[in-house]
Amino acid sequence: MLLQCGSRLLDLSSPVVMGVLNVTPDSFSDGSQLYSGNHLNLSLALERAEKMTRAGAAIIDVGGESTRPGATSITAAEELERVIPIVELMARELDVLVSVDTSSPDVMLEAAAAGAHIINDVRALSREGALQAAAKIDLPICLMHMQGMPATMQDRPSYNHVMGEVMDYLLARVAECEAAGIERNKLWLDPGFGFGKSDKHNLQLLQQLPQLVALGFPVLAGLSRKSLIGRILGRELDQRLAGSLALAMLAVQGGAKILRVHDVAATVDIIKIQAAVAVVNGHR
């Protein structure tokens, strides 16, 4: 399955890894390490993106606004200042697809002009002007489900049937996209693990992931280093690799095609193992 992503093609005949490149000073995981004082160190950011590319990432996802639980919004101008210089560098210097994790229409437009290939929006193009911007740039868009907003999304999330409600929301956003002139084959879906979900909700979504996959869209799963792992295993952030890999393998088995992760090399390895097992099973 070859997908046109701006000037490049993405092969989704097997699952691919999307490496996370946070360029936020308040990232829950790693973005602050790229800052010297209040300024992003572009050389360090490019070095990290290059390392993930060498490790096998097909996509690097650049995020300039923290969406961790409790995060507050920033202005489009702040996000542009963080994101556009590194997107330009990566598009010019690296053999990798560049995704931009943004909900801002201005950032979408500027990122596309800077060479980005994919837009990854945790708010599913719900901000004013986002649908129109996405239609204009004609890039693949990942639509994610989130109950509430980052600042409040973990305040007692509630569902009657979590997968059914997630699917209903995403299909409604697909219809809005099509009405705005965005082609259906440009859309990816993300159930939004950890975004307005309890541990039980997240595990139910993972168990029922084939239902979302059956809708026919590429499905992205972002489970890397989630708080869910810490609560299940009693592990701190820097001790969640095993849990992340276990969840990634379950997501692949459920049909996810894009894994958004912090630990690229290890995740590429588990995809290769899964593919080897699938080949053997196919020849029985």
Active site residues: 226, 260
Q: Which of 47, 120, 32 is nearest to 90 (CA)?
A: 47
**Alpha-carbon distance 119 to 111, whole Å?**
9
Output the CA angle 160-164-165, nearest 5 degrees.
65
Q: What region, left, alpha or beta, does residue 197 occupy, with left being phi > 0 and alpha being psi -120 to 50 degrees? A: beta
Q: How far is CA 122 from CA 76, 140, 189, 220, 234, in A?
A: 15, 14, 10, 12, 27
Dig out the tokens for 17 from the structure.
């890894």
Pair of tokens at residue 27: 């990232």
Angle of helix 76-93 versus helix 105-114 axis, rounded to 10:
20
